Amino acid sequence: MNSVVLILTSLLYLVFLFGVAYWAEQRSAKGKSIVNNPYIYALSLAVYCTAWTFYGSVGRAVTNGIEFISVYIGPSLMMPLWWIVLRKIIRICKVQRITSIADFISSRYGKNATLGVIVTIICILGILPYIAIQLKAISNSFLIVTQPDGEINTQHFFIGDLAFYITIVLSIFTIIFGTRTIDSTERHEGMVAAIAAESIIKLVSFLLVGIFVSYFIFDGISDIFQKASHIPALQKVFVFHSEQDTAGWFWHLLLSMMAIMFLPRQFQVSVIENVDEKHLNKALWLFPLYLLLINFFVIPIAMGGVLLFPNHAINSDEYVLAIPLKFNQPFITLFTYIGGFSAGTSMIIVETIALSVMISNNLVMPALLKSASLQEKLAGNFSLLVKTIRRTSIVLILLMAYLYYKTIAEHYSLVSNGMVSFAAVSQFGPAIIGGIFWKNGTQKGALIGLLVGVFIWFYTLVLPSMVGAGFFPQSIIDQGFMGFSALKPLALFGLEGMDSISHGLFWSLLLNIFCYVCFSLNSYQSSIEHNQAVIFVDIFEYSEQVESPTIWRGTAYFSDIQLLLSNFLGEKRAEKILKLYAQKHKIRLTSVIAEPQIVSYVEKLLAGIVGTASARIMISSVSKEEKISTEEVISILKSSQSLLSANKELKRKSIALEKATTELKEANEILQKTDKLKDDFLSTVAHEIRTPLTSIRALSEIVFDNPEMDLNEREHFLGTVVKESDRLSRLINQVLDLEKYESGKQKLILEDIDIQEVVKDSIDALYQQAKEKEIKVIFMPDRFTPRFEADKDKLIQVVVNLLSNAIKYCEPQKGEIILATHYAEGCVYTSVHDNGAGIDKNFQRLIFDKFFQAEDQTIKKPKGSGLGLAISKKIIALHNGQIWVESQVGKGSKFTFSIPVV
Amino acid sequence: MKEKLKNQKLLVLGIVFMILFNFPILSIVNHDTKIKGIPTLYFYVFTIWILFIGIIYWSVRNEEQEINKDE
């Protein structure tokens, strides 16, 4: 394939990536971030899959079978634990504004600058080879596609060497991506979007090759295995053979479990670039799924490659490209090349950005800031300085990686180089995991553990590779250092029978952990260290209540603090940020001496820009700090925590109390009201009883005193006495009745009834009365009303009551009463309509109360007990119905009751 | 409370599959036979892997739904 076409495609691809990044940044500026999305987050994690995955896995599968997959199963197994471990790390980084793994370790162990330097150096040493093999893979893939038959010539250096130009282009690209703005959160939305896009491209292109090989060249996966089992070399790798294989499997799982957490690029995408902890939920299964998919066709391609290129005609790392080339598939070849290119570039971009942040924040800045005179000279230019340091370090990292590739990496395969890098970052495991779960881990322990671990890593894993490249004599490997056989790099202390990676990992990690624990137990923490330890370990307790407790005491001038911040963010932004913070926390900004809260807030902001250790140095340079003892630190943390929880508890209790008070008040009001009602009722009843009693007594006295009374007159008097006694007993009956309803003792005797019968019976009962007053009574039944369950006698009582009221209030001769029934919407309605006096609007609701009429005695002469409507209302209520009146004074009134038909 | 339960669930899940993916369990399938034309060891590793992803998906999804309900 023409190399110009390939170069153009590669450049176009980079432009496309930049377009994606630019688009994402524009969206984020408008507040519609696409990176704030669990799918993008999961895809960005796939930066784990580099050129090693894309090309190297196949090569590894040819010689070792399924062993390569341990590197992908390890991270998958880590996923459930991520929810516990990584979420904690994310929270810590957000609260403490930590922006790199070096910052994390240095911050945990007392914001110690030395630790930051050591971690940064380990990262550079460990990761350089890894970046180098990406360069190697990219330039090799280019050469394979352009000169499939030619011998690959990699002897040139710099000018005339393709890899050199690739290095230059990628440096420029990374600088544009990673250092456009300096922000205190150190998040790169554009970069994350580009990485997610690259993840999709590498997955799709690898699946495409896989499907092409498995289903177009061969007849399915089982066909490949069928054919492969005839070749002894392939048949051999179908199973694990020795104990070495089985032990190696375990160590590789462990190694990759740590790599997925501690590789600087993984830390960058999974922790620093994380927008929302909840995104982890989806990533927990999406990321392993991605790993599964991208590895699914590795073995078929590997086996297929061996079958297609017998006798090792082609390096097995190159099968992915060589197979589509052999079958003349220019499109698949090009797409695969781009897939590999994206796998390599994504790793390079993220890894170099992460490393450059570490170099500027943990290596260069603390060193520069140590000198007071330098600090003064640089004042005002910090922002530019940080950018320059980062840009320079990106170029330097890539150039060093290039040199490493040309001198050493040439001799080794993709996978073995990568494994060495994994082992390097695994050394952070004890310090980080210990640091977030064990408060007693100390600076000394972490420092010594790391140094010892890295030394052994170097001795057992890097030294042998340098021997291979001719930097050290072969005798070190064969006879051991200075001839001590116990010090053989590949069989340390006589341990043999493990592969070099497992062997190196075992010894380095073992001694690392041992030193970390032992020295931690035998050393003391300074106050700041203990302080950080408590915050890190109990982060979930503190961060949910307080943004972060203030543990700083001393004096600093506010103007100094503000100036410090302005140096990085510019005057306007610094002022704005401080004002916002002061408003939120109700702090005065006018005082000359800065409040401790402001000082620690500014320190945190600076930490986001230049790293915790540098921020520490800068703050202490402008302030007089007082030491806080460990006890004080704990008490500050505890008091801010317990104060908050006490406050919450108090609030909760006072709310409950308030509620109880209002409830009591309401209950009391109701009680008072019923009490008054009872009094009123009693006095009304007494009054009602006294009226007939008085007339009975008066009449009987007259009869008693006048024995010679006219017989007719006497009869008339006695008749009145009988009538009044009847009224009295009726009244007492009704009072008893009402009492029964009110106390709930009255039960209904339900039977199947027809409302029309009820009305007819009622009319019959009062027919005589109406006739006496010459009042017309008309019944207009609906054609159909359903039968329903009700107490017939009680309903007759109601209708009789309404009808007798109507008769009472109608004028003789002119009166006309219309009774009607109808059915609508599940209710039976019965109404009694008269053309009598009518009821004033103000009384329409009151008439259903007991003795309403009694109160109005001065106005109207009572014609009934005043209890009839109250009892009717109770009866209807017992039937779940309603009763009401519509009336106009002078035009008559209409009483209606409705009963629901079930 | 729910948070702690989720932590424990996921921890147990991690440990169980750590065992399933390691020796000596792996030695049970480490022999030269084939299932559907695929070496038993390879078949086992991929099947367990898929199962693992499925179980994580299932347990996290349940969790999310519960949280949504609560909200």
Q: What is the DSSP string of A35-85?
A: SSSHHHHHHHHGGG--HIIIIIHHHHHHHHGGGGGHHHHHHHHHHHHHHHH
Q: Does B70 touch chain A (CB under 8 A)?
A: no
Dump pLDDT digits (tens) for A494-514. Answer: 777 778 888 889 999 999 999
Among candidates A439, A434, A438, A432, which has minimal Cα distance to A634?
A439
pLDDT at residue B59 tops 50: yes
Average pLDDT over all residues of chain A: 81
pLDDT band at B70 (very low <50, low <70, confident <90, very high): very low
Query: What is the model's pLDDT at position A363?
Result: 85
Question: Is the CB of residue A56 less than 8 Å from the CB of residue A418?
Answer: yes
Q: Which residues of A808-836 are buried (b: 16+ CB within 10 A; e: fewer)?
A: ebbeeeebebbbbbbbeeebbbbbbbbbb
How many angstroms away from the CA of A672 is the closest CA of chain B? 42
The DSSP call for residue A525 is -
At A160 the three-state DSSP class reads: coil
Dump pLDDT digits (tens) for A335-379. Answer: 999 999 999 888 998 899 889 888 888 888 877 777 766 666 666
Residue A613 host element (H or E): helix A612-622
Question: What is the pLDDT averaged over residues A748-754?
Answer: 86
Question: Is the CB of residue A421 less than 8 Å from the CB of residue A129?
Answer: yes
**Range in A645-654, A853-862, B6-15, B30-39 the model is least confident about:** A853-862
Q: Does A83 touch chain B (CB under 8 A)?
A: yes
Rounded Cα distance, A119 and A262, in Å: 11
Contact B49 A76 (CB under 8 A): yes
Question: What is the pLDDT averaged over residues B12-22?
Answer: 88
pLDDT at residue A634 tops 60: no
How many angstroms away from the CA of B69 is the closest CA of chain A? 16
Q: Which of A130-144, A548-562, A608-622, A624-638 has the highest mean pLDDT?
A: A130-144
Rounded Cα distance, A109 and A120, in Å: 15
Taking contacts as CB-CB distances below 8 angstroms, the residues of chain B near A250 are 22-23
**Range in A176-185, A662-671, A822-831, A888-897 the model is least confident about:** A176-185
pLDDT band at A420 (very low <50, low <70, confident <90, very high): confident
pLDDT at residue A116 tops 70: yes
pLDDT band at A857 (very low <50, low <70, confident <90, very high): very low
Q: Does A437 touch chain B (CB under 8 A)?
A: no
Question: What is the pLDDT averaged over residues A175-196?
Answer: 75
When scoring A71, A76, A242 by the number of chain B Cβ atoms within 10 A, the one with the most, hence best to mutate, is A76
Q: Where are the domains of chain B?
A: 2-70
Contact A225 B34 (CB under 8 A): yes
Q: 3-state DSSP: chain B helix, strand, coil percent, rounded to 5?
A: 75, 5, 15
Taking contacts as CB-CB distances below 8 angstroms, the residues of chain A near B10 are 80-81, 83-84, 284
Contact B23 A221 (CB under 8 A): no
Dump pLDDT digits (tens) for A514-563. Answer: 999 999 888 887 777 877 887 788 877 765 544 555 556 667 777 777 77
Q: Does A80 touch chain B (CB under 8 A)?
A: yes
Rounded Cα distance, A47 and A43, in Å: 8
How many angstroms away from the CA of A296 is the closest CA of chain B? 8
Q: Which amino acid is at A523?
A: S
pLDDT band at A410 (very low <50, low <70, confident <90, very high): low
Q: Does B35 touch chain A (CB under 8 A)?
A: no
Nearest to B41 among A77, A238, A284 (CB): A238
DSSP per position, A450-505: HHHHHHHHIIIIIHHHHHHTTSS-THHHHH-GGG-TTEETTEETT--SS-HHHHHH
Residue A722 host element (H or E): helix A711-743
Residue A871 host element (H or E): helix A868-878
Percent of chain A with pLDDT over 90: 10
pLDDT at residue A257 tops 50: yes
Count the neighbouring beta carbons within 10 Å of the beta carbon of residue A474: 11
Nearest to B23 among A235, A250, A281 (CB): A250
Taking contacts as CB-CB distances below 8 angstroms, the residues of chain A near B46 are 292, 296
**Range in A244-258, A609-623, A655-669 the model is least confident about:** A609-623
Does the pTM surpass 0.80? The reply is no
pLDDT at residue A696 tops 80: yes
Nearest to A81 among B11, B27, B32 (CB): B11
The DSSP call for residue A557 is B
pLDDT at residue A329 tops 50: yes
Question: Is the CB of residue A786 less than 8 Å from the CB of residue A823?
Answer: yes
Contact A222 B37 (CB under 8 A): yes
End-to-end CA distance of chain A: 87
pLDDT at residue A205 tops 70: yes
Dump pLDDT digits (tens) for A76-101. Answer: 998 888 888 888 888 888 877 788 88
Count the neighbouring beta carbons within 10 Å of the beta carbon of residue A52: 29
Q: Which residues of A36-51 are buried (b: 16+ CB within 10 A; e: fewer)?
A: ebbebbbbbbbbbbbb
**Range in A321-335, A556-570, A628-642, A872-886 the model is least confident about:** A628-642
Query: What is the model's pLDDT at position A574?
Result: 78
- Whether the bond between B24 and the residue before it is cis, its omega within 30 degrees of 0, is yes
Query: What is the model's pLDDT at position A860?
Result: 43
Q: Does B21 touch chain A (CB under 8 A)?
A: yes
Question: What is the pLDDT averaged over residues A159-178?
Answer: 80
What is the interface pTM, i.e. ipTM, of the complex?
0.92
Nearest to A226 among B22, B27, B37 (CB): B37
Question: Is the CB of residue A178 less than 8 Å from the CB of residue A189?
Answer: no
Taking contacts as CB-CB distances below 8 angstroms, the residues of chain B near A221 are 37-38
Q: Give, in order, the Cα–Cα distances in Å from A413 to each of A60, A73, A408, A671.
A: 9, 21, 11, 91
| Residue written as token pair 């959160």 | A185
pLDDT band at A630 (very low <50, low <70, confident <90, very high): low
